[in-house]
């Protein structure tokens, strides 16, 4: 029995999901809950309030007003096709009373009329009309920070361990979020938002998923991956609930969102390192000690591998293994065969990572696009946002029951195609109750993508680069989210364009998954890149043997004829 077999022998004793795995999994889920609160909070802290041009002599010198009737304002502000007042234009009045010319609001600025949203940080810098790019830039800045954080967190977690990255990100997201709340300068706020996204929704998310996937057994990975994604939806519900009960002060609302990070300050004493990572890094004594702790929590003593007599002392088992196998880190710990570039060094790894990255990009574009735009749908924005967050929960049992039977690929393709087709349909129908229902169904399908990709991606890549791979994929998700403000700006040219772009992205991703990625359901997680390439060779060998067998059968039939 070699060193890796001895390690797998010990890990298998823990079972797929015991008390120890449950406790750790809850802590990992908190990272995703907080990630959702930080990210989705933008929707209600920076909403676009009802607005129009300031009219000299009519409006008081105040930023937000409920005064002035429509009959009076229509003499100064043109109407849209549906009869409402224009938001960004007014008539140019003259001494002769001619108001036929239409101009922008100009330096006089805007007034905001409370509706569903009574407060917004958008009003601080008038990020509307010809300055709407400023709001889009802030949203993209947060998502870009999250993108860079996901990539950096994945690489650092493979290099220094999962635990320290999770712990430090939990602390730093609070302090940078605090900076966002009290920034009065636009550019200072943008920088703090970048760092807030970096630590709040970037660095800690990937290690949390990886820790869970490395901790639980094969039969529970799908369930745990789904539960982590559910925490993201639950975070959205918390965001909308706080916004509903505190509608009048956007900064106070944002401070409450940031304050949730305080629950992560105890992670250093509660979250354990991955014993898979410890073992592959050659820290076998620490891995064994952690396995003993996990076994004790689950209610039994760890059994020695064959040839080792005791595990009562911390060093006995480790010394025995080191003496018989040597303390050689081997392939899995070679710095030349791990890290970012290892994902692109071989053909099979390169194909897996590129297709996975585009799949996550599509998932991010569909999910965040439908989430951020849900407040613009027909109806109460708070209710619609909560509905889109919780509507996917009833579908979770379907995924848990069907995925083990169908495998990851068919379900992932289905949930990529459904929102893709739905977005294309939305491009050609008017905004009404049915468009809200269709958009909600699309959001459900987009959410279910993440229920599968977390577990699927963790099983596609070996331990030595798993967190780096997941970091790249989550980075791609954030890249998809970063593109949303720019895609939405296409609405200036045609209202159909944004939904059409989202739809095409989803359909292309479904086709790539179907053609390029292997099924991993109920198969061992690869530990090294050689394992991945070995799977490819076995598959090709099987196909060749199958073709040879068919050829032999045909030859026999010809002889018989």
Task: Tell me the helix, strand and coil percentages in the chain, rounded to 5.
Answer: 70, 5, 25
pLDDT tens digits, 416-473? 888 888 888 877 777 677 777 777 777 777 777 877 777 787 778 777 777 778 777 8
> How many residues does the structure list for the chain?
561
pLDDT tens digits, 148-182? 887 787 778 878 888 888 888 888 999 999 999 99
What are 110's strand-pairing partners?
53
C-alpha 355: how far from chain center: 17
Q: In whole angstroms, what is the distance from residue 33 CA to residue 117 CA?
A: 24
Minimal CA–CA distance to 537: which of 280, 355, 346, 337?
A: 346
Do residues 466 and 154 lie in contact, with contact meaning Cβ atoms separated by under 8 Å? Answer: no
Tell me which residue has tokens 């797998």: 8
Do residues 288 and 320 lie in contact, with contact meaning Cβ atoms separated by under 8 Å? Answer: no
Task: State residue 539 phi and psi, 5-degree precision.
Answer: -65, -45
Tell me which residue has tokens 């303390």: 327
Do residues 277 and 527 lie in contact, with contact meaning Cβ atoms separated by under 8 Å? Answer: no
Q: In whole angstroms, what is the distance from residue 72 CA to residue 55 CA?
A: 11
DSSP symbols for 368-433 = HHHHHTGGGSSS-HHHHHHHHHHTTGGGHHHHHHHHHHH-HHHHHHHHHHHHHHHHHHHTTS-SSH
Q: In whole angstroms, what is the distance from residue 148 CA to residue 307 CA?
A: 47
Q: Radius of gyration (Cα) for the chain, nearest Å?
A: 27
Task: State residue 37 phi and psi, 5-degree precision.
Answer: -60, -45
For the chain, 561 residues long, give each residue's pLDDT as a single digit of tens: 556 677 777 777 777 788 888 888 888 888 888 988 998 888 889 888 888 888 777 766 555 555 556 667 777 788 776 677 778 888 876 544 455 688 888 777 888 887 778 888 888 888 888 888 888 888 888 888 887 887 787 778 878 888 888 888 888 999 999 999 999 899 999 999 999 988 887 787 778 877 887 888 777 777 787 777 778 778 888 998 998 888 878 899 999 999 998 988 888 888 888 888 888 777 888 888 888 888 888 877 777 565 544 444 444 444 444 444 444 443 333 444 556 777 787 778 888 889 888 988 888 888 777 776 665 666 678 887 887 777 667 767 777 777 778 888 888 888 888 888 888 887 777 767 777 777 777 777 777 787 777 778 777 877 777 777 877 787 787 778 777 777 777 776 776 787 888 888 889 988 898 888 888 777 766 777 777 776 655 555 555 555 455 445 544 333 433
- Residue spans of beta strands (DSSP E) within 105-201: 110-113
Dihedral (CA of 478, 483, 487, 489) sign: positive
Q: In whole angstroms, what is the distance from residue 384 CA to residue 439 CA?
A: 10
- Residue spans of beta strands (DSSP E) within 73-115: 89-91, 102-104, 110-113
Minimal CA–CA distance to 227: which of 50, 32, 475?
A: 32
Q: In whole angstroms, what is the distance from residue 114 CA to residue 158 CA?
A: 49
Q: Which two tokens stand for residue 273?
A: 């390192």
Q: In whole angstroms, what is the distance from residue 558 CA to residue 472 CA?
A: 53
Do residues 420 and 367 lie in contact, with contact meaning Cβ atoms separated by under 8 Å? Answer: no
Do residues 183 and 192 lie in contact, with contact meaning Cβ atoms separated by under 8 Å? Answer: yes
């Amino acid at each position: 029995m070699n060193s890796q077999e001895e390690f797998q022998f010990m890990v298998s004793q823990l079972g797929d999901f015991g008390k120890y795995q449950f406790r750790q999994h809850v802590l990992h889920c908190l990272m995703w809950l907080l990630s959702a609160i930080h990210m989705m909070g933008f929707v209600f802290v920076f909403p676009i309030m009802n607005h129009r041009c300031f009219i000299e002599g009519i409006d008081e010198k105040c930023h937000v007003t409920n005064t002035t009737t429509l009959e009076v304002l229509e003499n100064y502000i043109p109407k849209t096709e549906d009869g409402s007042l224009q938001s960004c234009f007014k008539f140019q009045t003259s001494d002769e009373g001619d108001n036929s010319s239409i101009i922008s609001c100009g330096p006089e600025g805007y007034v905001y009329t409370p509706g569903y949203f009574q407060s917004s940080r958008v009003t601080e810098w008038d990020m509307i009309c010809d300055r709407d790019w400023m709001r889009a830039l802030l949203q993209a800045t947060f998502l870009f920070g999250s993108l860079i954080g996901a990539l950096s967190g994945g690489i650092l977690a493979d290099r220094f361990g999962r635990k320290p990255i999770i712990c430090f990100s939990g602390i730093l997201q609070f302090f940078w979020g605090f900076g966002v709340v009290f920034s009065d300068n636009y550019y200072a706020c943008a920088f703090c938002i970048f760092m807030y996204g970096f630590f709040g929704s970037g660095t800690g998310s990937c290690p949390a998923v990886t820790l869970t996937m490395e901790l639980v057994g094969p039969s529970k990975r799908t369930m745990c991956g789904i539960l982590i994604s559910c925490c993201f939806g639950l975070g959205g519900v918390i965001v909308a609930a706080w916004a509903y009960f505190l509608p009048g002060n956007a900064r106070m609302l944002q401070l409450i969102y940031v304050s949730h990070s305080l629950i992560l300050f105890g992670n250093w004493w509660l979250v354990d390192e991955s014993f898979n990572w410890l073992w592959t890094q050659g820290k076998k004594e620490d891995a064994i000690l952690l396995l003993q702790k996990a076994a004790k929590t689950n209610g039994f003593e760890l059994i020695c591998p064959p040839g080792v007599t005791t595990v009562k002392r911390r060093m006995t088992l480790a010394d025995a293994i080191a003496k018989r196998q040597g303390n050689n880190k081997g392939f899995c710990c070679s710095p030349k065969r791990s890290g970012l570039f290892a994902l692109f060094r071989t053909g099979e790894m390169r194909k897996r990572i590129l297709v996975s990255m585009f799949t996550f990009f599509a998932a991010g574009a569909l999910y965040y696009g439908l989430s951020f735009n849900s407040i613009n749908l027909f109806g109460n924005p708070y209710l619609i946002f909560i509905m889109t967050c919780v509507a996917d929960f009833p579908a979770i049992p379907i995924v848990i029951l069907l995925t083990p039977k169908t495998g990851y690929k068919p379900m992932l393709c289905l949930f990529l195609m459904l929102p893709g087709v739905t977005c294309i349909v939305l491009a050609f129908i008017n905004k009404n109750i049915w468009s809200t229902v269709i958009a909600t169904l699309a959001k459900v399908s987009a959410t279910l993508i993440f229920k599968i990709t977390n577990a699927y991606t963790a099983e596609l890549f070996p331990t030595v680069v798993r967190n780096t791979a997941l970091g790249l994929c989550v980075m791609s998700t954030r890249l998809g989210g970063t593109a949303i403000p720019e895609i939405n700006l296409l609405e200036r040219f045609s209202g159909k364009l944004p939904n059409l772009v989202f739809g095409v992205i989803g359909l292309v991703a479904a086709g790539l998954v179907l053609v390029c990625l292997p099924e991993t359901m109920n198969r061992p997680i690869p530990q090294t890149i050689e394992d991945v390439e070995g799977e490819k060779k076995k598959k090709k060998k099987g196909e060749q043997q199958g073709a040879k067998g068919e050829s032999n059968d045909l030859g026999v039939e010809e002889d018989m004829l």
